Amino acid sequence: MDISQEIAELKRRRNAVILAHNYERGEVQDVADYTGDSLELARRAAGVEADVIVFCGVYFMAETAAILNPGKTVLIPDESAGCPMADMITGEQLRKLKAEHPGAKAVCYVNSTAEVKAECDICVTSGNAERVMRTFAPDEEIIFVPDQHLGSHVAGILGAKYILWPGYCPTHAKLTPGMIEQARLAHPGAPVMVHPECPKAVRDIADQVLSTGGMCKWARETDAKTILVGTELGICHRLAKENPGKTFIPVAEHLICPNMKKTTLEKLRDCLVNLSPQVTVPPAIAIPAKRAIDRMLEVS
Ligand code: 13P
Ligand code: SF4
C-alpha cells in the first residue's frame, strides 16, 4: 500500500475529512477532500459532518476550524506550522490599541491568533474583505489588524481610512515591482495576478489583485493562455491541474511560505494514526472569537 492509500484508509477508519490550503505541497493537495483559500476552508470547516478534521495549512487555520467545531477533533500534521504575520500582534497589543481608540470597531484578518479574533467585532479573509468592510459606514473609525497591505488595499478601494497595524507577510514582502516588470518582459501580454498581501507598489502594477480562491476562479474564466502568478508557489499546482490548456508562470521562484511546506504526507499519515497533534482553543477565547468569525460568514 502506498502512503496515499494508507491515508485514504486511515481517513475512512477515523471518519475524517482532510482540508488543504492552496499553498500546500501538491501531493498533500492531491489527497485532500477539499483544497481552497482561507474563506472556502472556513466555510467547509463550519459544515463538516466527519468526527475528525485534519487541517493541512498553518496554525491559525486549524484554530479557526477548532473554534467553529467545538465538539470535533481537529488535527494539524505539524503544529509548528505557524503564520509569522498572525504572530505580529498579540491580544495584549490589540487591547492597548483599542483603549487608545475607544469608539473604534476592531477588524482582524483571519491570519490572526484566536486571542486576537476574540478581541474583534468581525473577521475578514482576503476573499471577502471588500464585501465585509462595505458593511461599515464610510466614516466609521476602524482598527484593522494585522496586515497593513490587505488593510490599505481595501481602504483604497472603498476610499476609507483605517487605523492599520504594521503587520505583513514575509513571503509576499519578497515580491518587488522589478520582478513583475521582468516577468512581463519575458512573457509579453501575459496578465499578472497578485495577492492583496503584496506591498502597494506591486499591487498597483498588477492586472488582478485576488485571494488564492479568486485567482483559481479568474484563471478558469479568463481567455488568457499564459498567466503570471504573484503569490506563493504552491497554488501553481492547483492552477495547472484545473486548467490543462493554460500555462502558469510564477513571477518569482522563491515565493515559498516555509510553514505551508511543513506538512508532508508522512506527517499527515502519522497524525491520523496518533490522533495528534490536536488543536484546541479554550472556551473563554473560542466563544468570542467564534462570534467574529460567524459574523464574517453571515455577511459573505
Ligand atoms: P487566501 O485566503 O487568499 O488563501 O490567503 C491566505 C494566506 O495565508 C495568504 O498568504
Ligand atoms: Fe502567513 Fe504569508 Fe505564509 Fe500566508 S503565506 S501563511 S500570510 S506567512
220 and 162 assigned to the same domain: no
Apex 271 CA angle, 270 and 275, nearest 5: 125
Query: 212 C-alpha to center of ligand 1: Å?
Result: 6
Task: Give the pLDDT of residue 138.
Answer: 85
pLDDT value at position 246?
98
Ligand 1 centroid, distance to 119 Cα (angstroms): 21
Q: All 3 cell numbers of residue 260? A: 505551508
pLDDT band for position 215 (cuts 50, 70, 90): very high
Classify residue 255: in a domain, yes or no.
Answer: no
Cβ 259 under 6 angstroms from ligand 1:
no
Q: How far is residue 262's CA from residue 277's CA, in Å, rounded to a whole number?
A: 14
Ligand 2 atom closest to residue 23's alpha carbon, by position in its atom list: 5
Is the distance from the beta carbon of residue 263 to the nearest atom of ligand 1 less than 6 Å? no
Per-residue model confidence as pLDDT tens digits over 60-74: 999 999 999 988 999
Q: Judge whether 208 lies within some domain.
A: yes
Report which ligand 2 atom has the smallest distance to the Cα of 21: 6
Domain assignment present for residue 184? The answer is yes
Cis bond before residue 146 (omega within 30° of 0): yes
**Taking 90 as the threshold, does the pLDDT of residue 46 lie above it?**
no
Answer whether 0.75 is exceeded by the pTM: yes
Q: What confidence score (pLDDT) does residue 270 get?
A: 98
52, 119: one domain: no
Q: What is the mean pLDDT of residues 81-92?
A: 98
| Ligand 2 centre distance from Cα of residue 180 (Å) | 20
For 95, the grid coordinates are 487591547
Give the ligand 1 atom nearest the CA of 171.
10
Whether 196 and 221 map to the same domain: the answer is: yes
Q: Is there a single domain that holds both residue 60 and residue 96? A: no
Q: Which atom of ligand 1 is nearest to the CA of 169?
A: 10
Asked whether residue 153 falls in the same domain as residue 191, the answer is no
Please tell me the total number of residues recorded for the chain in this structure.
Answer: 300
Summarised one tens digit per residue, pLDDT across range 227-269 is 999 999 999 999 999 999 999 999 999 999 999 999 999 999 9
Q: Is residue 20 part of a domain?
A: yes
The answer on 293 and 158 residing in a single domain is yes
How many domains is the chain partitioned into structurally? 3
Question: Is 24 contained in some domain?
Answer: yes
96 lies in the same domain as 156: yes
Q: Are 293 and 67 in contact (CB under 8 A)?
A: yes
Cα(23) to centroid of ligand 1, in Å? Answer: 8
Q: With pLDDT > 70 as the criterion, what percentage of the chain qualifies? A: 100
Looking at the predicted structure, is the pLDDT value of residue 273 above 90?
Answer: yes
Which atom of ligand 2 lies nearest, measured to the CA of 232?
Answer: 5
> Average of pLDDT values for 178-203?
98
Q: Over 90: is that where the pLDDT of 278 sits?
A: yes
Tell how far the Cα of 1 is from the centroid of ligand 1, in angstroms. 34
Pair 13, 61 in one domain? yes
What's the CATH code of the domain at 116? 3.40.50.10800
pLDDT at 47: 85
Residue 249: helix, strand or coil by DSSP?
Answer: strand
**H or E stretch at 192:** strand 192-194
The pLDDT value recorded for residue 1 is 82
**Residue 182 belongs to some domain of the structure:** yes
- In this structure, the residues whose C-beta lies within 6 A of any atom of ligand 2 are 58, 83-85, 111, 169-171, 197, 232, 257, 259-260
Residue 277 preceded by cis peptide, ω within 30: yes
Domain match, 244 and 224 both: yes
237 and 189 within one domain: yes
pLDDT over 90 (residue 48): no
* Residue 169 CB–ligand 1 contact under 6 Å: yes
With a cut of 90, say whether residue 97 has pLDDT above it. Answer: yes
- Does 246 lie in the same domain as 202? yes
- Does residue 181 fall inside a structural domain? yes
E strand or H helix that includes residue 55: strand 52-56
Answer yes or no: do 65 and 105 share one domain: no
For residue 102, give its domain range. Answer: 86-168+288-299
**Nearest CA, atom 3, ligand 2:** 257
